Amino acid sequence: MSRLIPAAERIQKARALIQKARELSIPVDGGKYDFSYIAQVKDLLRQARELVIFIHHSAGAGVEIKTEAAMIKQEADQADKEILH
């Protein structure tokens, strides 16, 4: 059984994943339309979203944490648009 990660730590990890997606170097060969690059970016952003997806439904999470979790989802969507479009 995996250990339970606190909501605050999930938010920190999610932000780190979004930052990692932003810092991925664009391949010289295919540019930002390289399928491997797109897959890496999408995977990192998916991981970030999955880390915070259930925080909103958690009874133990406070309003601030739930707000931050919602902001993470928006940050991931914004990063997707900025990086890939």
Q: Where are the domains of the chain?
A: 7-84
Distance of CA 3 to the CA centre of its chain: 20
Whether residue 37 contacts residue 30, with contact meaning beta carbons closer than 8 Å, is answered with yes
Which pLDDT belongs to residue 2? 67
Whether residue 31 contacts residue 15, with contact meaning beta carbons closer than 8 Å, is answered with no
Q: What is the pTM (predicted TM-score) of this model?
A: 0.91
Q: Which of 17, 49, 21, 48 is CA-nearest to residue 37?
A: 21
Q: Is the per-residue pLDDT at 30 higher than 90?
A: no
